[in-house]
Amino acid sequence: MKIGLLNGGGDCPGLNAVTHGVVGAATQLGWEVIGFKEGFEGLLSPGSFKVLKNEKTEGILRMGGTILGTTNRGHFSGKVGEGGVRKIPKELMEEAFTTLRNLDVEALICVGGDGTLTTALQFDEEGFPVVGVPKTIDNDLAATAMTFGFDSATQTVVDALDRLQTTADSHKRVMVLEVMGRHAGWIALYGGMGGGASSILIPEIPFSYEKVAEALAKREANGFRSGLVVVAEGACPVGEDLLYKDTSTGGEHRLGGIGIEVTKRLAELTGKETRCTTLGHLQRGGSPTSLDRILATRFGVKAVKLIEEQRFGRMVSYQQYHVGSVPIEDAVRQLNLVDPDGEIVQAAKSVGISFGD
Ligand code: F6P
């Protein structure tokens, strides 16, 4: 049997570990794996694929990025603008199916987030057997308790905060760190808690600048020399609009800029020297953590298993320490967001972290 594999959407630490898992499991079954380059785009250009052999993928689980390449723009963007679903034109689907049939590929594993899985679902609905693997640093996919890449991104935030804390303390400054996550606050929440932030601003909890400034003043009164404020790119002050970096690109709109705003306003309100760092794509690059390597490998192996069992239209899912599967449509129908009243936020508040609410 020949199976196809592609990565879609933004890259994320652990993508190569999935490839390692898929190729390892498929080789044991005597199957061949064809890896398509640059996501679904690889299905449009002849020769845009690699035959993935076990001996070639052996060492890649520790590597960041993806040996196949990926894109979060292009012909097959399943999500556009502000999370809008896009129907892929029939002619494009036909072109992709022709490539797959010409190569005798019988099933396709699509590794991606919301957008990629939305496109994958359309392939499945049009009759091409597909299995999905959830991937995103944002951890915003429903129907899986965690996606690989999230732990690595969170660790990058923690490392950044550890560094910012020492310089902040030396200068008695407030340091603002803008992090990714799109409309979910998971990276800010976990990164902020792990890195000892004093305030965490997330999309799920609209904030007030005055409340954040009050919390910083209280810290100062209690003898703390500095403050670390983590702000998610999708966080929004009460009654204001989201800030975008770019709304003109083909795929989803790009968020960004709230870190600078928060820095300016907190400097005015607190009178303290305040500086902004935007962590950006550092969160997507580099080697995966051990947790992500293992989760991604298990996801790859499970995807092959689902094909073996002919359970198509399903996405690998992690629930209660177990890797199982769910229908792809369960994962893409809604976002997995932080519960503002949930236990994690309450725990953060209990140790004095302000959410500006
Ligand atoms: O979805 C992953 C993500 O890194 C988001 O956190 C971020 O908003 C977006 O992708 C950035 O996309 P790009 O790489 O196109 O700038």
CB atoms within 10 A of CB 78: 26
Spacing, Cα 10 to ligand 1 middle (Å) = 6
pLDDT for 250: 66
Residues carrying an active site annotation: 138
Alpha carbon distance 327, 320 (integer Å): 17
Q: Is residue 136 part of a domain?
A: yes
Tell me how far the alpha carbon of residue 55 lies from the centroid of ligand 1, in angstroms.
Answer: 32
Angle at 241 between CA 240 and CA 246, to 5 degrees: 150
Question: Both 28 and 126 in a single domain?
Answer: yes
Pocket test for ligand 1, best of 7, 114, 137 (most atoms within 8 A of CB): 137
Residue 109 in this model has a pLDDT that exceeds 70: yes
273 and 169 in one domain? yes
Of all protein residues, whose CA lies closest to atom 11 belonging to ligand 1? Answer: 254
pLDDT digits (tens, 9 = 90+) for 308-351: 999 999 999 999 999 999 999 998 878 999 999 999 999 999 99
Q: Are residues 175 and 70 in the same domain?
A: no
In a domain, 104, yes or no: yes
Asked whether residue 87 carries a pLDDT value surpassing 90, the answer given is no
Is 352 part of any domain? Answer: no
pLDDT over threshold 70, residue 274: yes
- CA quadruple 341, 343, 348, 352: dihedral sign: positive
DSSP tag of 321: T
Count of alpha carbons within 13 angstroms of residue 317, beta-carbon side? 21
Q: Residue 354: inside a domain, yes or no?
A: no
How far apart (Å, rounded) are the C-alpha atoms in residues 171 and 148?
Answer: 37
Instruction: Judge if 18 and 119 occupy the same domain.
Output: yes
The total number of structural domains in the chain stands at 2
Together in a domain, 298 and 326: yes
262 alpha carbon – ligand 1 mean position (Å) = 20
Q: Is the pLDDT of residue 105 over 90?
A: yes
Residue 346 domain-assigned (yes or no): no
- Looking at every residue in the chain, the average pLDDT score rounds to 95
Write down the pLDDT at residue 313.
97
For the stretch 237-253, pLDDT in tens is: 999 999 998 887 667 78
Give pTM, 2 decimals: 0.95
- Confidence band for 194, pLDDT divided at 50, 70 and 90: very high
List pLDDT tens digits, range 2-15. Answer: 999 999 999 999 99
Domain boundary pick from 248, 266, 285? 285
Q: How many CA atoms lie within 13 A of 152 on its CB side?
A: 32
Q: Does 82 lie in the same domain as 161?
A: no
Q: Are strands 322-327 and 314-319 parallel, antiparallel or unpaired?
A: antiparallel
Q: Which atom of ligand 1 is nearest to the CA of 284?
A: 4
Identify the CATH number of the domain in which residue 49 sits: 3.40.50.450
| pLDDT of amino acid 246 | 84
Same domain, 258 and 209: yes
| CATH number reported for the structural domain that contains residue 176 in this entry | 3.40.50.460
Same-domain check for residues 194 and 62: no
Residues 112 and 176 grouped into a single domain? no
Same domain (yes/no): 251, 281: yes
27 belongs to a structural domain: yes
Does pLDDT of 165 surpass 80? yes
Report which of 114, 14, 100 is spatially closest to residue 61, judged by C-alpha positions. Answer: 14
**Is residue 339 in some structural domain?**
no
35-63 pLDDT, tens digit each: 999 999 999 988 999 999 999 898 999 99
Domain boundary among 285, 315, 340: 285
- Can you give the residue range of the structural domain that contains 185? 152-285
Classify residue 340: in a domain, yes or no: no
Q: Are residues 7 and 143 in the same domain?
A: yes
pLDDT of residue 253: 86
Same domain, 144 and 156: no
Which residues sit with their C-beta closer than 6 Å to ligand 1?
10, 72, 113, 136-138, 180-182, 233, 254-255, 284
Domain boundary among 285, 316, 351: 285
Token pair for 27: 């080789």
- What is the whole-number distance in angstroms between the Cα of residue 255 and the centre of ligand 1? 8
Ligand 1 test: best mutation among 249, 284, 336, most atoms within 8 Å of CB?
Answer: 284
CA neighbor of 157 nearest in space, from 307, 281, 308, 257: 281
Atom number in ligand 1 closest to CA 233: 8
